[in-house]
Chain A
């Protein structure tokens, strides 16, 4: 498995502001993913964070709203921009080290937008 940390663990933000969430892994991984878990819902993939190139976004998610960086093989950030109360969710990063293993998840960032 992999040890994954996320910062912050939770935050309360005002409408219209932005928050950057960090995801750090204890070893180099090939692929990192960002998921959203809205209240009472399952997990939905936002994007795949590619090292050295632009992230790949799922339908319904756009780079202007959720810019992602992946500067190296152990770190990624997700920014939630121009937030509204509808963005209140848990945001999770996951890693896939080899394509032949399960994805492992970070502890999540619980975001509340007022």
Chain B
């Protein structure tokens, strides 16, 4: 069965610290990979996506993620976090080709302290 695992449920950082959130997936075929973010009181927004090509993808607000096929991983990174990055981050995957449902990880709550 398809599944997505996010290793950290709660992360607390100080401003300017570096961030890496882990995401591993289980799926037998070719996948698309996503990170979504939900800021406090706001709706779910797309942070970045990987469909094909360069495995290092860049998203909004200085975030990037690297797809490592051999490890079934799609970790999210940011070199220097800001207080405004406080949010919940969801990794998601769907099968490539066609209109396919998203499988979400459990989410990681990030709190950035000034």
Which residues in A have some Cβ–Cβ distance to B below 8 Å?
1, 30-31, 33, 35, 41-45, 48, 58, 92, 94, 96, 99-100, 102-108
Contact = CB atoms under 8 A, between A and B. Distances in A.
A104 B44 CA distance: 8
B99 A105 contact: no
Interface of B: 32, 34, 36, 43-46, 49, 51, 90, 94, 97-102, 104-107
Majority SS of interface residues in chain B? loop
B43 A108 contact: yes
Given A30-B99, A92-B44, A106-B43, A100 B51 contact: yes
B104 A43 contact: yes
Given A1-B46, A33-B102, 15 more contacts: A42-B90, A42-B104, A42-B107, A43-B90, A45-B102, A92-B43, A92-B44, A96-B99, A99-B99, A100-B51, A102-B46, A103-B94, A105-B36, A105-B45, A108-B43
Nearest to B34: A102
6 contacts: A35-B102, A42-B106, A44-B104, A45-B101, A102-B34, A102-B49
Contacts, number: 46
Nearest to A40: B107
Nearest to B109: A40
A107 B101 contact: no
A31 B99 contact: yes
A3 to B, nearest CB: 12
